[in-house]
Chains A and B, each alone.
Chain A
């Protein structure tokens, strides 16, 4: 199976603080690879470093696009896309402008069709269609997440990284978000999914990694990871019949 992303002994440091330590990971074409773990485990640092937003050490390879690991623009040119945890929308601009800028680096490609791409996004998110001319900063949390995802999809990504797509959203919206991610997966988009919502992530993923304290604690097929007793205790607490530890149960629900 084609490997799209390969990390070996991957390290992210902020000054003297080590956020990600000695992580090895691979993401394959056509699959959803999930990275789960509690708050502060280094998930966001990991994915930001993979995108090139923060410096990193160790081996970072995109075997299909060897140029891509050079710079963040090179990644975008290779159509690697990130939906960051902080969304990072262009607040004072309209929804339409935000989406158009998502295809900024593709605009010179032959047969580039902005209208067709926009239409595709509006089919996926009819809500954004209604709000086309509204300022991004006036959107609700769920709509912002849709816009961030829509902006990333404007690039027609070959590898899509989603950082906490469900963070801070109402349960109904979370469910919709995961439906959309499942739909993208069915359309063949390869996804690296960073999630605290372990239950939903593991249901969707093909492979999963558990990141704790900056290091990988567990890796394997998503089904196997979901069946691991430690994961059940710490992350899927609600489904296990052991409500003895309320802290961990809380983590399973929120985190």
Chain B
């Protein structure tokens, strides 16, 4: 291997790593707030690419029907509960959340996205569709079992993932897609040629992580999410509802998942079931950070990306196995360095 090849592989690894950073950050965020290991995060990523591809082909993406159907279930669940408690304010709120907003986004997708619409507009509508699906998943699957043990929540998350896989196959078909990305002449940086795609991915990822950082450290709403994670009862007595915190976490997860999908779409072919492996790589990155610490999770994700790209050079058929084997030395190292990691999370 020459230095040139190593530099290209590293570049590739950093671009992949930037996406795993987003996935890892969201996994950590959703886990701290709701204790759910959000396996379907990868499916949201895949759905995003498939949705954008459908817009490019000039068809109505299946995401619209997934959203409308899911929102209808969520709305009826929510209304049943609100009516049983005779809580009128909650009725109005749920009609807006699970009725008006999803229908508006679906109408937007059906009526206002012609085949020749600009790419950015298609991306924005795709983002909106996928972001709306995420809180619907939370309402249907996780909110009713919010106080269950992490193991039960994990099983529910896996079931959701399998369900979304089947739904994905049904509405999108088995065809893989590759979407458009940032295009243009490569940039030159420190003697290296860097493609605009890589630069765009890294820049978007940095911006998004920075925005998340600001949200959690500067805004009271973000602080409230963390508060709910630190002390559920303490949060309840100051009026931060665990359900609202979970919903917000899932909305953020949906948005970041959609952006990851837009970023990863042009770099690799995505199928209806590609999400799982993607999510798993983000998960390995998150594990490096002990599912708790954002900067460490990000470093772990970059490591995963780099190992992946070098592995695909040497032993392409084994690259996923090599990446996932990373988890063994990492867990070993963590248990030696920090034997009471569980106490830190509590």
Contacts and interface: CB of A to CB of B under 8 A. Distances in A.
Interface of A: 51, 53, 70-73, 76-77, 81-82, 84, 86-93, 97, 100-102, 104-105, 107, 151-152, 155
22 contacts: A53-B233, A71-B85, A76-B237, A77-B239, A82-B237, A84-B233, A84-B234, A89-B231, A90-B230, A90-B231, A90-B234, A90-B235, A91-B231, A92-B230, A93-B226, A93-B230, A100-B223, A101-B224, A101-B227, A101-B235, A102-B238, A105-B240
Given A84-B234, A90-B235, A101-B227, 7 more contacts: A88-B234, A90-B231, A100-B220, A101-B235, A101-B240, A104-B224, A107-B220
A86 B238 contact: no
Contacts of A81: 237
Contacts of A107: 220
A73 B224 CA distance: 14
Contact of A104 (B85, B87, B233, B238): B238
Interface in B121-142: none
B86 to A, nearest CB: 8
A148 B231 CA distance: 13
Contacts of B224: 101, 104
Contact of B223 (A91, A101, A105): A101
A143 B240 CA distance: 23
A105 B233 CA distance: 15
Given A97-B223, A101-B224, A91 B238 contact: no
Contacts of A90: 226-227, 230-231, 234-235
A107 B238 CA distance: 12
A53 B236 CA distance: 8
B255 to A, nearest CB: 23
Contacts of B231: 88-91
B306 to A, nearest CB: 31
B227 to A, nearest CB: 5
A93 to B, nearest CB: 7
B87 A70 contact: yes
Given A100-B220, A101-B224, A107-B220, A72 B230 contact: no
A89 B236 CA distance: 11
Question: Which 7 residue pairs across A and B have the least CB separation, nearest first?
Answer: A105-B239, A76-B239, A88-B234, A90-B230, A90-B227, A88-B233, A82-B237
B274 interface: no
Interface string B85-116: 10100000000000000000000000000000
Contacts of B226: 90, 93
Nearest to B88: A67
Nearest to A51: B237
Interface in B191-246: 220, 223-224, 226-227, 230-231, 233-241
A102 B281 CA distance: 38
A151 B238 CA distance: 8
B237 to A, nearest CB: 5
Contacts of A89: 231, 234
A162 to B, nearest CB: 12
Nearest to B236: A72
B134 to A, nearest CB: 23
A151 B227 CA distance: 13
A144 B44 CA distance: 42
Nearest to B217: A97
Contacts of B233: 53, 84, 86, 88
A151 B235 CA distance: 11
Contacts of A70: 85, 87
Contacts of B236: 53, 72
A24 to B, nearest CB: 25
Nearest to A137: B230
A87 B233 CA distance: 10
Nearest to B228: A90
Nearest to B232: A88
Nearest to A154: B238
B304 to A, nearest CB: 27
Contact of A93 (B87, B227, B240, B241): B227
A86 B233 CA distance: 10
Contacts of B85: 70-71
A104 B220 contact: yes
Nearest to B234: A88
Contact of A76 (B87, B220, B234, B238): B238
Interface in B61-89: 85, 87
Nearest to A114: B220
A105 B237 CA distance: 10
Nearest to A91: B230
B237 A73 contact: no
A53 B241 contact: no
A63 to B, nearest CB: 18
Contacts of B227: 90, 93, 97, 101
Given A100-B220, A101-B224, A155 B238 contact: yes
Contacts of B220: 100-101, 104, 107
B239 A53 contact: no
Contacts of B230: 90-93
Give the interface centre of B220, B233, B234, B237 by most chain A CB atoms within 10 Å. Answer: B237
